[in-house]
Structure 1
């Protein structure tokens, strides 16, 4: 019986050839530019800011943590325009306004998790992050009977550890790519201009329930974007659930067309 002895140099060469073959196969399957994109960007732990799609679909989202004063007006505008949105709600807000949570859910809107206490996640341990997520999720489920699957971190504050912790709770971490900063003291015209000009295919639009100016802007935003051919969908209907990667800008892209 012959024993084949390979030198370190031969083993190294075989490894190089194997790597080249693997790259060639992936290059064929994914396409050259996409392969480069995947290799360059797949290492980063990022939330989903927007979604790559050929369809003119966008998601309208609200961060809910203030009072409930403007909720009826927001829901009326959405109803009048036959639009479903995604509401990211704080656990403490659920405690104060359980009937509003029920109303949002019964109208067919999507409810996402915005943490329990709206604190900076990068300052928390992994266990505390998960506690914030699970506590809010539990409160929402008691009212809607549904598990939350989407999570938006307070203040948009995250790092790799935060993203990993959130993913371990079974949630997709969602950010945004269109932000008119409507929580500041600005006019509804400014809000409208920012949203309408910056929205593109796959955009996730961020709004809040803290100002009447947002309510005033909402109808115009919806009508103008619809006139441009955009369809409003819930975040869970916009994002890819598997076979995707996220590029360095936070844009979620499919691994195959």
Structure 2
């Protein structure tokens, strides 16, 4: 079995656990901020660019992809470029950023938001502070070396965070991003099913969670985009979803 297949298998198992626990915020104050709340409380003296749409006035949704880049990412980037859609990528450091540096550079160069999914996918709430910090910071540094910019958004593995993790994120200058839609693509390579699940759960201000490391996922993206655009949705990155609010380090954003 190849290293990539073994890695994918471990991530499938981890994601399955996440599904069972839902989005568990272990030991957390449970204070999260929705995109609309962020926009409503935007500092008028310190605003962020709106991007392709003003999400205060139209239906917006964010496509996000975890655990890449990988062999399928180049095709995904081709699809997004053709559709003129920007996504947010939460990258794993050791086995992905380091293995596919040119894809990381391409994601940034083509206008996507490049985010952090830790170095080795450790559950941050189970780690000592120095280990959790290193899991985030090592990927921050690796992406910065390739793109010239440190990620400003981070997705904790399995969506599990707590006050200690939030404190570390605040110190490192990254915001935490959860989700509202999951196709559970770690459990199936059925492209039609992945598309169906995603479309069924889609809602305004939603954040779609997919993985570009699984075979069935990337082929579903074109249909997801086409259908949601017909429904009047505008695709934006996560920072654009909360604009004109600025991202707040340590904050947990969740639709």
Normalising by structure 1, report the TM-score. Answer: 0.73
Q: Tell me which residue corresponds to 1:88.
A: 90
- Residue 54 of structure 1: how far off its partner (Å): 5.2
Q: Which has the larger radius of gyration?
A: 1
In the other structure, the counterpart of 1:173 is 176
Determine the C-alpha separation between the residues in 1 that align with 2:70 and 2:174.
26
What is the aligned partner in structure 2 of residue 72 from structure 1?
74
**Match among 126, 130, 133 for residue 133 of structure 2:** 130
Supply the distance in 1 between the matched residues of 2:188 and 2:79 (Cα, whole angstroms).
Answer: 21
The number of equivalent residue pairs is 204
After TM superposition, give the deviation of residue 154 of structure 1 in Å. 1.3
After the TM superposition, which of the residue ranges 50-59 and 208-217 deviates more from structure 2? 50-59
Other-structure match for 1:51: 35
CA shift, 1:64, in A, is: 2.5
How far the C-alpha of 1:178 sits from its partner, in A, is 0.4
Q: State the match for 1:113 in structure 2.
A: 116
Partner SS for 1:213: coil
Whole-Å separation in 1 of the counterparts to 2:32 and 2:177? 5
In the alignment, the residues of structure 2 paired with residue 250 and residue 220 of structure 1 have an alpha-carbon distance, to the nearest angstrom, of 25
Residue pair 2:62, 2:241 contacting (<8 A) in 1 also:
yes
Tell me how far apart the structure 2 counterparts of residues 69 and 156 of structure 1 sit (CA, whole Å): 24
Distance in structure 2 (CA, Å) of the matches to 1:147 and 1:186:
32
Give the Cα–Cα distance (whole angstroms) in 1 for the partners of residues 246 and 137 of structure 2.
Answer: 21
- CA–CA separation in structure 2 for the residues paired with 1:145 and 1:242: 19
**Candidates 125, 129, 145, aligned match of 1:142:** 145
- Work out whether residues 239 and 247 of structure 2, in 8 Å CA contact, stay in contact via their aligned partners in 1: no
Q: Could you list the runs of 5+ residues in structure 2 that have no partner in the other structure?
A: 1-27, 37-55
Contact residue 46 and residue 160 of structure 1 kept, 8 A: no
TM-aligned CA deviation for residue 163 of structure 1: 2.1
